[in-house]
Chains A and B, each alone.
Chain A
C-alpha cells in the first residue's frame, strides 16, 4: 500500500545550525507534499507545502525540495532556534480533490541553545 518513509527519527542540532529531514513516498499519484510541526499537547501545524509541479519552495528559514523522479522530498531548516524543537511530519497526498494524507512516522528535532 501507500507508504511514506521519514528519516531520521531523531535529530539534535546546535542553535544556529541547519537541520535536514528526508522523506520518500511510494505512490506515483502523489502530487501534494505538506510538512507539519507538532508541539507537545498540540495538533500538527502546517509549516510549508509543495506541489509536484515545483522543485523547490522557500519560506524564510524553511525550504522544501522535491524530486519526483526519485520520489523523495526534504525539509531544510536554517539558523535553527530553540523554538524549532518539536516533532516534524512529512506527508504525501493526491490532493486533486480532497485526498487523504499519508504521514511519515515523524522526526523529533531538538535544538540545543
Chain B
C-alpha cells in the first residue's frame, strides 16, 4: 500500500520563475492538503482540496494555487517565485468521513529559490 508520494524531491528555481509540485495521496484517500515548512519551523497550512475544489485556504497569497484531479492527485503551483518561498513543501492526504481524519504526510519537495 503506497503512502503519500511527492515529486520532485528537490527543485532549484530562480526568482520570478514558476514551479509545479505534485502529490499522489495514500491509496483510498480523497483529500489533499498542502503545507509549507520553512527551515526550523513547523508546517504552515497553504490549502486543502476535496472533490477537485479548494475547500480551505491558509494565509498565503494568490501566487499559490492548486488543482486536484479526478484520481485525487494534486498539484501545487507557485508563480513569481520569491527568495522567501524557499522551503520544504509537504503534501498530506486524508479521507473525508474517515474514522479519525488523520493526515498522512509525504516526504516533501525541497524548493530552493536563488
**A60 on the B face (CB < 8 A):** no
Total number of residue pairs linking A and B with CB closer than 8 Å: 63
Residues of A within 8 A of B4 (CB): 43
Question: Which B-chain residue is minimally distant from A6 (CB atoms)?
Answer: B42
Query: Chain B residues with Cβ under 8 A from A46's Cβ?
Result: 102-104
Interface size counted on chain A using CB atoms at 8 A: 26
CB distance from A47 to the nearest CB of B (A): 11
Chain A min CB distance to B75 (Å): 18
Per-residue 0/1 for A81-108: is the Cβ within 8 Å of any B Cβ (1 yes, 0 no)?
Answer: 0000000010100010111111111100
17 A-B pairs within 8 Å (CB atoms) are namely A32-B101, A34-B103, A36-B105, A89-B42, A89-B43, A95-B101, A98-B31, A98-B94, A98-B101, A100-B48, A101-B33, A101-B103, A103-B43, A105-B40, A105-B42, A106-B40, A106-B41
Q: Which residues of A contact B (CB under 8 A)?
A: 1, 4, 6, 32, 34, 36, 41-46, 49, 89, 91, 95, 97-106
Which residues does B use to contact A, with CB under 8 Å?
A: 4, 31, 33, 35, 40-45, 48, 50, 55-56, 58-59, 90, 94, 96, 100-108
